[in-house]
Structure 1
Amino acid sequence: MEDLIATIEALIFASDEPVSIEEISKALAIRVRDVKEALDELYTAYLDKRHGIYLKEYNGRYIFVTKPEYVSVIKEMHQKRITRLTPAALETLAIIAYKQPITRAEIEEIRGVKAEKTLLTLSKYGLIEEMGRKETIGNPIVYGTTEKFLEHFDLTDLSHLPEVLPEDLQIVDDVGEGSYGLAGGEEEELDLFGEDSEELNED
């Protein structure tokens, strides 16, 4: 069992992206149940205070991440590589997170401004992706958030998004369909992800 745990540890550590239980099971030709048991032990082992990282799950996929208490040290070391998302980009990202899958036109209707450049920026940083096309006239592209989005905001899955308060979003009726509009007008910043949400590693 110890060899299996060490092997799975190495697989996850060497991966640039979160790894699923099924991928590990297939790679090692072992049962899913055995992978789950090994992951449980690996998770428990890394909770020890002697470790600066721990095993984190994102949508059923696993990756090693820095423990929260050491994040500030990492940010300080890599300060030159930090960039910031504008309030407009954060606002657009929040809309996509809560309303996905959503088209560019729907985003622009909510925000009241063009969203093409903002969508390109969010795509560049890997926070959103094309999820397909909407079955309507013109078959427009629909957007959604990515695994990297979950990782950056430390969310296990989308069900862990902060609850949207009434003062943050208001219902707007348009041709009989409810859509969300930002309360307070264009000047308001929709901060749904906390004070540190603007900081983002460029890579």
Structure 2
Amino acid sequence: MNLKERSVQAGALVEAALFAAGRALTARELADLSGLSEEEARSAATSLAARWSDRCSGLEIRSFQDSFVMQVRPDLAPLVAPVAPRELEAPLIRTLAVIAYRQPLPQSELIRLRGNKAYDHVRELERMGLISAPRKGRTRELCTTRGFAEYFGLESESPEAIRQAIGQGRRGLGVTPMFESLALRLGLDYLVVNPYRPQPEDVDRMMEIDLLVVSPGYSELVKASYRGEVLEARTGTLSQLKESAELISARRGGNLEGFLEHVDSLLLHYREMAADCPPVQPRSALVQELAEDLRIPVSDEGIPAAPDYRGTEAEIQIPTHQDYSMDILERVRQRCDALLEGLLKK
């Protein structure tokens, strides 16, 4: 066999190996299979990749980190997904997604998020070579492996690159129960989640979203369970509610104009009422903000007003212990009504 024939046969063997493997092969592995040197195997695989690209085939050969993989072209993958083998069942995929997104993840934390069934998932995913689970203290530290990147056709196995790849597939809005009515008023599609004390179903939902709306001051708390964008929405006053709606709508659209018109009409009505009010003496930041928003005069000699949760004696009590299921606009209206009615009675 002359040199040219040997080269053709080695190239064919490299092509067959990539087809049969169903995973990425390193240049070293291709060299061992073909009898070529590592550099020759790398060159043969690179040439194959170029030829497959020129064919406009449904398959392609991609290279990353000195490895090569034959796979369905990304633009065609969704079309053939219904007939592709499904080796990972949905519960296993959800557990793997949590590990991939939050790695390095203590196994104890995974069990808290996914329940005891996750022990079996870890064993199976480790057996498949998709994760590593070395001991770290009393638990195990879970991370994805190079095999994970190969399985899902990712160019990099770094945790940050994997998180970015996961994020590209998400485009959902998540809201805590308090903000559900705001999402409804804006006409948005959303998922209700509890990121403060998440249950397994909350963890699953947070994997489907890339924007989470929470109350002010809770961003750090939710980062223990969620790593996407967090929007802290202020809703203490009508103007704050408008601002929060605008921030959400800037990212997700919705019927913002109609909502703002409604809030503006309420604000105008309340400010007209406030023109006849005596001064108020705010005994909390919330009451101060309400007074400023409604243009009620503020004075140290004014009528004391305080939130009902502070236990502070005040002639006017502003409701704050409202049910989370209450419409968010109604919640703010109750506070405005309590303040204005209390002042106008004096």
Q: Could you tell me the TM-score, scaled by structure 2's length?
A: 0.40
CA distance in 2, matches of 1:36, 1:83: 31
2:107 to 70, 92, 104: 104
Structure 1 unaligned segments of length 5 or more: list them.
169-181, 195-203
Paired residues of 2:135 and 2:141 also in contact (CA < 8 A): yes
2:195 to 176, 184, 196: 184
SS at match of 2:16: helix
Q: Is the helix fraction higher in 1 or 2?
A: 2
SS at match of 2:78: helix
Map of 1:133 onto structure 2: 135
Q: Partner letter of residue 195 of structure 2?
A: G
CA distance in 2, matches of 1:124, 1:58: 26
**Rg bigger for which structure?**
2
Q: Could you tell me the TM-score, scaled by structure 1's length?
A: 0.63
Map of 1:172 onto structure 2: none
Paired residues of 2:103 and 2:142 also in contact (CA < 8 A): yes
Map of 1:161 onto structure 2: 162
- Distance change in 2, residues 1:192/1:150 (3 Å): farther
**CA offsets, 1:55-92, max 9 Å, x none?**
1335543221111232233223359x587635x963x4
Paired residues of 2:132 and 2:143 also in contact (CA < 8 A): yes
1:52 to 50, 55, 58: 58
Map of 2:90 onto structure 1: 85
Q: Is the strand fraction higher in 1 or 2?
A: 1
CA distance in 2, matches of 1:19, 1:133: 28
Map of 1:121 onto structure 2: 121
Paired residues of 1:19 and 1:62 also in contact (CA < 8 A): yes
**CA offsets, 1:100-138, max 9 Å, x none?**
443311334xxx44543135336546474343222x2x4
1:62 to 48, 63, 68: 68
SS at match of 1:63: strand
The total of aligned residue pairs comes to 171
Aligned-pair identity (%): 18
Structure 2 unaligned segments of length 5 or more: list them.
1-6, 168-172, 175-192, 211-346
SS at match of 2:70: strand
Q: Partner letter of residue 31 of structure 2?
A: S
